[in-house]
Amino acid sequence: MSEAIFHLDAEVRTDMGKGASRRLRRADKLPAILYGAGKDPVALTLDHNKVNEAQDFEAFYSHVLTLNIGGDKVEALVKDMQRHPYKPKLVHVDFLRVDANQKVTTHVPIHFLNEDKAPAIKTNGGVPEHHINDIEVTCLPSSLPEYIEVDLMDLEIGETLHLTDVKLPKGVESVELAKGEDHDQAVVTIKTPKTAAAEEDEGASEAADSGDEEASTEE
C-alpha cells in the first residue's frame, strides 16, 4: 500500500453553496470541511478521483492523514464521508484536525485472525458471528493503530469474546469500556453449527411431545 494515499492536496474553497458544490463535482472536485483543534472550520476542495481511490483502503479511515493546503501541512482524520446514493462517487468529506498533544477519538477496524484455522470453526463446524467490526478508541495520534487484532484460535463453540478480552495497544483505550462494566460489548461468538442446533431443537421437541403423551396416558 502506497503512503501516497495518506497525503492529499487541498485548496481553500471560497465559493460556497449548493450550486458551487455541484459545479465542483461536475469538474471532478470534492468539497470538504476541516475543523477541530480549537480552530475555525475551513472549507476545502480536493481531487475527487484521488480521494475516491484512497478511500478503497481500510487504513484511510483510521490513519492520520496529511493535508497539503497551499503549502501548509495539516494532520487530520476522516470523520465523515458522504456518498452519492447510487453513483460510485463521493459527495463530501469531513476532516478533523489532529493535535499531536491532544487525544483523538475514532473507530478502528477489527481484523479477525485464524477464522480459517480455529478448531472450533475448521474442525467442529462452528460459525463465527461478528457482533461489531470496529472499536471506538481514544488515544494520542502517535498511538493510533490502523487496526486491532482479535484472535479466534482458542475460542470454543458457544464462547463469546468481549471488549475486555481484546488486548489494545499501549496508550489506546476503549471508549465503551470507559463508560462502565455494563458496556463490555460482545465482539464475536462462535455459534453452534446449524445442523447441530436443529438436531438439539428437534430432540427437545420430541422429548416434550413424549412427555405430553405420557401425561395423557396417565389421565
3-class DSSP string for 67-129: EEECCEEEEEEEEEEEECCCCCCEEEEEEEECCCCCCEEEEEEEEEECCCCCHHHHCCCCEEE
> Rounded to two decimals, what is the model's pTM?
0.79
Express each pLDDT in 130-170 by its tens digit.
Answer: 999 999 999 999 999 999 999 999 999 999 999 999 999 99
Give the whole-angstrom CA distance, residue 168 versus residue 94: 27
Q: What's the pLDDT at 199? A: 56
Q: Which domain holds residue 119?
A: 105-197
Q: What's the pLDDT at 112? A: 97
Q: Establish if 60 belongs to a structural domain.
A: yes
Per-residue cell: 88: 460510485
Beta bridge partners of 106: 137
Per-residue cell: 144: 493510533
Q: Establish if 218 belongs to a structural domain.
A: no
Q: What's the pLDDT at 174? A: 97
Last residue of a domain, one of 99, 126, 147: 99
Percent of the chain at pLDDT exceeding 90: 66
Q: What's the pLDDT at 162? A: 97
Express each pLDDT in 76-105 by its tens digit.
Answer: 999 999 998 888 889 899 999 999 999 999
Give the whole-angstrom CA distance, residue 8 versus residue 55: 12
Q: Establish if 216 belongs to a structural domain.
A: no
Mean pLDDT of the chain: 87
Give the whole-angstrom CA distance, residue 63 versus residue 188: 24
